[in-house]
């Protein structure tokens, strides 16, 4: 680690204690951009890294709601408005018991660079709550979402901050929040993305993150003259991103052999075909059950529980060509990364945000595999959210094919930006460096243009 990075990180950790995920996300970026900072001292003069790692605004609030038994419950709500240099704050809301300030700051920080890569005018933000939607009734989720929006509405707006979904937030939650905002403000406006098709949503938004991660993998394979046809793929998660990554892998001729949830994973020797995928979508989207039930239903599959405290995750220890981590952060440790390489995996395209720990990333880079980090590979979701905002402004809807084509072109453009930035800084094929540098430069230059408030 250079003196600059060590000094920068020491100050950041002192100022933001007990936020390990935030430290991890910032450190990766400072390490990548230290080459740029050496070449362009103006970025240090303008204290760009210091400014980029300090949110423009952090909103933390009480979310009281009443459960079905009539008991008052209290959760904590957050919105991190990280950076608005290139557009209004944009990024998802996460509802999960693990949510805390540090996790949302890491996600907001990543979002700023990711959004810059999409070519669309969006700043970065992230929010959510430690509320756990699992096991709650629809009415409880509705009352929580209404209470959450009773505070959030003051801080968002179509030209200010436009949240979307993330873990635990899908069409149902966006609907309850949108309805609440409309009631309070008496206006029908595009303040959230991921909306229902009847009320301002975009076609392909639910599919976009998963499809995008697979398009990104296809672009990476293209640099070696290969395609996804016939490739065996490991997918983690069984939520929004995992489901549509699986669908697009099938479209492009690949075979998916794993899916998971926080309890464990299934391995299907015959592969998850369209019929089985439809069954998983029904199981998960109707919140009817756990992925373990897949192995009861389909005899070609086995189920293995995942022990979060174990030294490796068996999901990543199967023969395959490609991996699409699509569940959560830090789900691939160093040992998992080594297992992937030893099993022949040479394409990793991250549907989730920061699913690989830094030591694992090192393993991928050392082995020179095609490794697409989340901030590039999973940018398709926010890109189509950006397209939803454009359609809302025009009061117009594009067809499925139009949105899918735009998404595909955006993923190609992100891939090209990463390749070009990595080459320009002497690290061809290093998508981590490429994504960090390309995103950083766009945001940094915009901040300088706008003076110290930029
Ligand atoms: P969902 O809530 O739809 O699904 C999440 C999946 O990951 C579920 O299978 C869930 O299992 C599993 N999971 C969640 N937390 C953990 C955990 N701590 N350990 C193990 N498994 C876990 O979320 P999404 O599919 O939307 O999000 C998945 C990832 O993709 C996240 O990292 C998110 O930030 C990222 N992402 C999402 C985007 C989007 O458009 N939705 C955009 C860009 C990135 P269980 O059901 O047991 O909780």
Q: Examine the fold and report which residue of 372, 402, 425 is the final residue of a domain before the chain moves on.
A: 372
pLDDT higher than threshold 90 for residue 288: no
pLDDT of residue 226: 98
Looking at the domain assignment, is residue 393 inside a domain? no
Q: Examine the fold and report which residue of 343, 372, 401 is the final residue of a domain before the chain moves on.
A: 372
Residue 173 CA to residue 239 CA, distance in Å, equals 15
The per-residue pLDDT for range 345-397, each reduced to its tens digit, is 999 999 999 999 999 999 999 999 999 999 999 999 999 999 999 999 999 99
- Whether residues 175 and 213 fall in one domain: no
Section 178-192 average pLDDT: 98
Residue recorded with tokens 């490991």: 234
pLDDT higher than threshold 90 for residue 183: yes
- Whether residues 62 and 156 fall in one domain: yes
10: CB partners within 8 A, 6+ apart: none
Mean pLDDT, the chain, integer = 97
Looking at the domain assignment, is residue 344 inside a domain? yes
Q: 429 CB under 6 A from ligand 1?
A: no
Residue 83: band (very low, low, confident or very high) from pLDDT cuts 50, 70, 90 = very high
pLDDT higher than threshold 80 for residue 441: yes
CA–centroid distance, residue 167 to ligand 1 (Å): 5
- Whether residues 42 and 120 fall in one domain: yes
- Whether residues 212 and 184 fall in one domain: no
Q: Examine the fold and report which residue of 156, 188, 220 is the final residue of a domain before the chain moves on.
A: 188
- Whether residues 218 and 170 fall in one domain: no
pLDDT higher than threshold 80 for residue 1: no
Looking at the domain assignment, is residue 88 inside a domain? yes
- Whether residues 67 and 215 fall in one domain: no
Q: 241 CB under 6 A from ligand 1?
A: yes
Catalytic residue list contains 126: yes
Looking at the domain assignment, is residue 252 inside a domain? yes
Residue 287: band (very low, low, confident or very high) from pLDDT cuts 50, 70, 90 = confident
CA–centroid distance, residue 5 to ligand 1 (Å): 31
The dihedral formed by the CA atoms of 347, 352, 354 and 356, expressed in degrees to the nearest 10: -40
Looking at the domain assignment, is residue 261 inside a domain? yes
- What is the extent of the structural domain holding 285? 208-372
Q: Residue 181: which CATH number? A: 3.40.50.10860
CA–centroid distance, residue 174 to ligand 1 (Å): 16
30: CB partners within 8 A, 6+ apart: 4, 5, 8, 9, 49
Section 89-95 average pLDDT: 98
Looking at the domain assignment, is residue 12 inside a domain? yes
- Site to probe by mutation for ligand 1, drawn from 92, 130, 205, 240 as the one with most ligand atoms within 8 Å of Cβ, is 240
Looking at the domain assignment, is residue 108 inside a domain? yes
CA–centroid distance, residue 322 to ligand 1 (Å): 19
- Whether residues 180 and 246 fall in one domain: no
Share of the chain above pLDDT 70, in %: 100
CA distances 48 to 33, 118, 139, 280, Å, are 11, 21, 45, 45
Section 316-339 average pLDDT: 98
Q: Residue 339: which CATH number? A: 3.40.50.720
- Whether residues 94 and 172 fall in one domain: yes
Q: What is the DSSP string of 255-301?
A: EEEEEE-SSEEEEETT---HHHHHHHHHHHHTT---THHHHHH-TTE
- Whether residues 159 and 293 fall in one domain: no
Q: List the residue whose alpha carbon is closest to atom 37 of ligand 1.
A: 166
Catalytic residue among 90, 105, 114, 126: 126
CA–centroid distance, residue 343 to ligand 1 (Å): 25
**Total structural domains within the chain:** 2
Looking at the domain assignment, is residue 322 inside a domain? yes
Ligand 1 atom closest to Cα of 374? 44
pLDDT higher than threshold 80 for residue 28: yes
Residue 118 CA to residue 128 CA, distance in Å, equals 23
Residue 354 Ramachandran class (φ > 0 left, ψ -120 to 50 alpha, else beta): left
Q: 300 CB under 6 A from ligand 1?
A: no
- Whether residues 241 and 333 fall in one domain: yes
pLDDT higher than threshold 90 for residue 451: yes
């Amino acid at each position: 680690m250079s003196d600059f990075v060590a000094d920068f990180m020491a100050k950041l950790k002192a100022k933001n204690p007990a936020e390990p995920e935030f430290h991890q996300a910032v450190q990766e970026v400072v390490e990548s951009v230290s080459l740029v900072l050496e070449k362009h001292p103006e970025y240090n003069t303008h204290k760009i890294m210091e400014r980029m790692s300090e949110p423009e605004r952090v909103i933390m609030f009480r979310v009281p709601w009443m459960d079905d038994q009539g008991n008052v419950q209290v959760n904590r709500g957050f919105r991190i408005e990280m950076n608005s240099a290139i557009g209004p704050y944009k990024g998802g809301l996460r509802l999960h018991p693990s949510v805390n300030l540090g996790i949302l700051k890491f996600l907001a920080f990543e979002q700023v660079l990711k959004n810059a890569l999409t070519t669309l005018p969006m700043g970065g933000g992230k929010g959510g709550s430690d509320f756990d939607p699992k096991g709650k009734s629809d009415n409880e989720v509705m009352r929580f979402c209404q209470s959450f929006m009773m505070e959030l509405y003051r801080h968002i707006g179509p030209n200010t901050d436009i949240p979307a979904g993330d873990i635990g937030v899908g069409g149902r939650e966006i609907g309850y929040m949108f309805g609440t905002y409309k009631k309070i403000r008496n206006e029908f406006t595009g303040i959230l993305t991921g909306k229902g098709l009847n009320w301002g949503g975009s076609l392909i938004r639910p599919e976009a993150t998963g499809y995008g991660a697979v398009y990104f993998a296809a672009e990476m394979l293209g640099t070696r003259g290969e395609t996804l046809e016939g490739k065996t793929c490991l997918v983690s998660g069984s939520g929004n991103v995992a489901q549509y990554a699986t669908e697009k892998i099938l479209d492009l001729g690949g075979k998916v052999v794993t899916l998971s949830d926080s309890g464990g994973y299934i391995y299907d020797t015959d592969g998850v075909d369209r019929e089985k995928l439809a069954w998983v979508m029904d199981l998960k989207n109707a919140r009817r059950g756990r992925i373990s039930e897949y192995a009861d239903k389909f005899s070609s599959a086995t189920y293995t529980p995942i022990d979060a405290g174990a030294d490796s995750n068996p999901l990543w220890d199967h023969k395959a060509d490609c991996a699409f981590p699509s569940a959560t952060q830090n789900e691939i440790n160093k040992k998992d990364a080594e297992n992937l390489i030893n099993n022949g995996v040479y394409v990793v395209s991250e549907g989730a945000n920061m699913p690989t720990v830094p030591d694992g990333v090192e393993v991928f880079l050392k082995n020179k595999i095609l490794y697409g980090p989340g901030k590039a590979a999973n940018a398709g979701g926010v890109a189509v959210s950006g397209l939803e905002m454009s359609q809302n402004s025009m009061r117009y809807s594009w067809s499925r094919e139009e949105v899918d084509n735009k998404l595909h072109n955006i993923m190609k453009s992100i891939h090209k930006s990463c390749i070009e930035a990595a080459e320009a800084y002497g690290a061809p094929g290093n998508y981590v460096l490429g994504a960090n540098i390309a995103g950083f430069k766009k945001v940094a230059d915009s901040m300088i243009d706008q003076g110290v408030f930029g």
